[in-house]
Structure 1
Amino acid sequence: MSDIEELELRVAGRTVAGYALQPDIDPTNVPRPYLHPVRTLAGTVVTDVLPADHEWHLGAGMAIADVAGSNLWGGRSYVRGQGYTWLPDHGRIEHELWHRRSEGVLEHGLVWRGHDGAELLAEHRTITAEAGATAASWTLGFGTRLTNVRSTPVEIGSPATHGRGEGAGYGGFFWRLPPVEDMRVEARDPNTADRARGEDLVNGSALPELTVTARTRVRPDSGAEPGSAGGRRFTLAFTGMAGADRWFVRVAEYPAVGISFAFRHPLVLAPGSVLTRTFTVTLTDG
């Protein structure tokens, strides 16, 4: 894989994230801009790209399984009554123009195109990197504004809206973690005592904050025992849900966190309407 252009975000002189603007990847993986590698301040990489189990998972960024009948997620599409099926329905998300570009801000316009090349959505994306509240943390901001540029409604869907169960309502902001051990997830409402712990309870939850703690997996050639303290521990704290958004979480099958726009029901954007979200992820060592 090669990138036509590679960009970086920096905090206090340290590179904390790479941004692949126009990745040269298989069309079935839906070429699109994404963040990778994303690192803690100590240098621990907390994203993965093109993993063997789901090679269309690309770091951290935007991806949606069904946008007006086109696959903007990658891989097979879920068809009601048939299950996952390979279809010629893959679109792409393309960089269009820059608005701002510095070591702490990447702001640009993008076009979401369907499988036939038609423009489905226009996106204004702002990514920021700032120092955190502690010396061991920094905060990634990810703002997106999606506009329906068509003369007809655009329906956003997921495998769940097409009949798949198992809480498979993925699609929106998505973060694929690298191989980890001892991954724990907790969602909570800071204004109440409401909490949910573990994959089964957090997946599909609407609680506004989610925290992931994990330890990087020890390499087989490191000489350390699996599960030992040889891996680096880190914490990711996510916020930014709105409307009918829900958390999408996977721990047992693969490590990932998403904020999904159509977890149970389709989201319909009328012509000219705008979907605006601002996500934050605070990355902390230890």
Structure 2
Amino acid sequence: MENTLNYKIGGIEINRLGYGAMQLTGKDVFGEVADRENAKKVLQSAVEAGVSFIDTAEAYGPKLNETLIAEALYPYKAGLLIATKGGFNRPGPGQWIPNGSPDHITQNIEGSLKRLKVDTIDLWQLHRIDPNVDVEETLAPVADAVKAGKIRYVGLSEVTVDQIKQVQQILPIVSVQNLYNLADRRWENVLDYTEQQGLAFIPWFPLASGPDKLEAKIRSIAATHQATTAQIALAWLLKRSSNILLIPGTKSITHLHDNLKAADIILSDEELATLSAQ
């Protein structure tokens, strides 16, 4: 992967094409991954291939994904940034209940430190703002953890511009992780705001291929570059804004390497415009 695709989160330089570990769990992101040895090999292959940004969360498993990452990669390669998240209850498969109570957030942070086997979490993200808890209360233990050196940088997930501005009055953030891809651009204004603010934007579910009317255009551009439609979807995100960090996930080493090849595809301004038109 090219060095030109590097980006700095705070003072840590990482490759913009990272890896999202959510799929390395059971069905509906609950329970243990079916093939643990394969999952460890996928993580190890990602790092060997130059990935320096891995995204996980306390809620994946729950807890099991963080443990898997430590088992596969600890002691961590120098320069590897592992980002995690907290703020959900997971009572069962497919169930995601925001919990922003300070006690719960404290437990998430302390648990993630132990499971990842680190003294400092490089990037801790609030998985969701809990509508039933004042966000200042939710973030109080996060601010304390930053002061104590347990968290280096803080990010948010699935937030509006107004929510980002509200949090920025409470503590500094470096990143925002929202749903965004060729097919779903409801958070375009959030992407634009993060770009203006010098924050990283981390699209989750980045591999949706796009609306039906775009399919022919995507296939045509993919043929021009001798690439897959998934690679074009990722290349479009890399071209769309220089603050976008990608975390495509997969359980397949073959797909992992296919995804990483998106870094070598340089779309023209015209191709960008074609894909961006909805």
> Is TM-score (shorter-chain normalized) higher than 0.5?
no
Q: Give me the TM-score of the superposition, normalised by structure 1.
A: 0.27
Instruction: Answer 1 or 2: which has greater helix percent.
Output: 2
